[in-house]
Structures are given as structure tokens and as C-alpha cells.
């Protein structure tokens, strides 16, 4: 709690850096492996002294369209999650409807439902409805992670918006929809970004729905692309790892760009 870092502070910084380096070593190793030359070396050096980008060339050639698929699905899921969650969170935070607690409890209960159970049932329904192997099908399924999360995050934020602000707008004659659109949403910008970032990442990282709700490679997210790569391309580990790096990129970028939102959500998500 001292202002200036004493010797203890520097030591802590050093220890912290070492601990972090250990924790992030796999990430380093992933990048390192992706920069090794192609071929059957299987081993690779400790440092990418002569970085070789052929792994990325192969990865982009084989998996480029899978990256696009992931992007489309993740953006779609983020948009759908926010569109469903924002009005619901607003209503739960503001209207004090009878049954609010039941709805909130229901949302928490969804967290105990395993994805495999959802996939098991959706497979049949999707098959009947022609939603297997479709972007829409994946967007809908992937949002099972995003919607409850976004409701919880937005709800806890919107509850904190002072009643007076809403009241003032109401007095000015704004209808419920207007209040929501022109007052609540702009005020909730930060919470919306946080929820958006995470719902995007949830859908981007999805593996199980991609695995179970697609049967061809026409609509194949990058996570499934990596998984299928594993069995078929062991002699091209650099390409496999390059794909892994590409698949990890959004998470890393968002952590840097939206650091504040990510950190706040990580602490806020569980301690509601």
C-alpha cells in the first residue's frame, strides 16, 4: 500500500513477471511452433530464430474460409445475444414485474445445463428444420452461452442507473421504448461493450456445437478446423499451430484493446 515501489515492490514485480511467464509459456510455445519451418521435424527449436511463415500460408489457404465462418457466426451470436438480452435486462432491472425472480432464477439454472444435452436435442430438431450445416443454426446454438451471460451483466449494470434519470425522461413524455433506446442504452455503453466482447468470444470459441451440428465442411468454424487438422496433418505442425494462433487472435486482441471491459467482466460475472 505504499506509494513508491520499495525493494519489496520490485521483488514482487520480478516474481510476478516470472509467474506470468510460466503461465503464458504455452502461448509462447504455440507462437514459436507456428513459426518453425514446415516438414517433419516434429521437434522445433526454442526460439523462432529464422521465422518461417509457410505455416501461416498453409493455414490461411486451408482454413481461411473457416476463419470467415467463425467471424460471421461470432458476430451474429454477439448481435443476437445483445438484441435479446438488452431489453430483457432493462425490463428485469426497471419494471419490477411479478415473476422477475423466477426469470432470474431460470437464467441461473441454464448454467447447469450442459452443452452436450442441448446439442443432443438440437441435432434432431435442426435436422428436421434444415438448420444443420448453416450459419444461422450455429448462431442460435452458440448464443446459449451468450444470452444468459449478457442478461446477467447488463442487468447488474442497468440496476445501477439512477431512477431519477429515467423518471426525468418519462416526465418529458418519452415512451418506454424511447427511454430504453435513447437513455438506457447509451448509458449502458460500457456494459454493452463488455457483454458484446464476451458473447463474441464465447461463440468464437465454441467447439461442441460446431462438432455436433455440422456434418460437412461447408460451414465449419475455425475451432473445428483445428480439431480436424489434428488427425490429418501431423506432418505440418507449423500449419496446425499457425491455425491455432489465428484462432486465438481475437481473444488476444480483445484483451489488449478492451482490457478494462474484460477485467471488469471477469470479476463481475460470477459475483453477481
Q: Based on the shown chain and the rule CB under 8 A, indicate whether residue 262 belongs to the binding site for another protein.
A: yes
All three cell numbers of 153: 451483466
Q: Based on the shown chain and the rule CB under 8 A, indicate whether residue 180 belongs to the binding site for another protein.
A: yes
Among positions 97-116, residues that touch another protein (CB under 8 A) are: 97, 103, 106-107, 109-116
Q: Based on the shown chain and the rule CB under 8 A, indicate whether residue 147 belongs to the binding site for another protein.
A: yes
Q: Is 6 exposed, middle or buried (0-12, 13-18, 19+ CB in 10 A)?
A: exposed
Taking the CA atoms of residue 247, residue 250, residue 256 and residue 261 in that order, the dihedral angle to the nearest 10 degrees is -130
Q: Which distant-in-sequence residues (6+ apart) come within 8 Å of 63 by Cβ?
A: 222, 225, 226, 229, 243, 246
The distance of closest approach from Cβ of residue 53 to another protein in the complex, given in angstroms and rounded to an integer, is 19
Query: Which CB sits closer to another protein, 50 or 163?
Result: 163
Q: Which of 8, 162, 173, 186 binds another protein (CB under 8 A)?
A: 8
Q: Based on the shown chain and the rule CB under 8 A, indicate whether residue 79 belongs to the binding site for another protein.
A: no
CB count in 10 Å sphere of residue 66? 25
All three cell numbers of 248: 486465438
Among positions 234-253, residues that touch another protein (CB under 8 A) are: 234-235, 237, 240-241, 244-245, 247-248, 251-252
Residues 10-39, one symbol each (x = binds another protein by CB under 8 A, - = not), give: x-xx-xxx-xx--xx-xx-xx--x-----x
Q: Which of 125, 165, 168, 257 binds another protein (CB under 8 A)?
A: 125
Q: Distance between CA atoms of 176 and 184, rounded to whole angstroms?
A: 10
Amino acid at each position: 500500500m505504499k506509494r513508491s515501489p520499495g525493494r519489496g515492490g520490485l521483488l514482487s514485480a520480478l516474481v510476478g513477471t516470472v509467474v506470468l511467464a510460466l503461465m503464458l509459456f504455452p502461448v509462447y510455445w504455440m507462437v514459436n511452433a507456428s513459426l518453425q519451418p514446415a516438414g517433419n521435424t516434429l521437434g522445433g527449436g526454442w526460439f523462432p530464430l529464422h521465422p518461417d511463415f509457410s505455416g501461416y500460408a498453409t493455414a490461411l489457404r486451408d482454413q481461411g474460409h473457416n476463419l470467415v465462418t467463425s467471424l460471421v457466426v461470432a458476430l451474429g451470436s454477439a448481435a443476437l445475444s445483445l438484441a435479446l438480452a438488452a431489453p430483457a435486462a432493462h425490463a428485469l432491472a426497471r419494471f419490477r414485474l411479478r415473476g422477475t425472480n423466477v426469470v432470474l432464477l431460470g437464467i441461473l439454472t441454464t448454467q447447469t445445463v450442459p452443452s452436450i444435452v442441448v446439442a443432443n436435442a438440437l441435432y434432431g430438431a435442426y435436422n428436421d428444420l434444415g438448420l444443420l450445416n448453416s450459419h444461422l443454426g450455429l448462431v442460435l446454438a452458440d448464443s446459449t452461452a451468450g444470452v444468459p451471460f449478457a442478461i446477467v451483466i447488463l442487468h447488474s449494470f442497468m440496476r445501477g442507473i439512477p431512477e431519477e434519470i429515467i423518471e426525468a425522461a418519462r416526465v418529458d413524455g418519452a415512451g418506454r421504448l424511447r427511454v430504453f433506446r435513447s437513455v438506457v442504452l447509451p448509458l449502458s455503453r460500457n456494459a454493452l461493450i463488455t457483454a458484446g466482447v464476451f458473447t463474441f468470444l464465447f461463440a468464437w470459441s465454441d467447439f461442441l456445437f460446431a462438432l455436433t451440428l455440422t456434418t460437412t465442411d461447408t460451414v465449419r468454424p475455425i475451432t473445428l478446423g483445428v480439431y480436424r487438422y489434428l488427425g490429418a496433418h501431423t506432418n505440418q505442425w507449423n500449419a496446425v499451430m499457425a491455425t491455432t494462433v489465428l484462432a486465438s487472435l481475437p481473444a488476444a486482441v480483445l484483451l489488449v484493446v478492451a482490457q478494462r471491459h474484460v477485467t471488469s467482466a471477469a470479476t463481475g460475472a460470477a459475483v453477481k
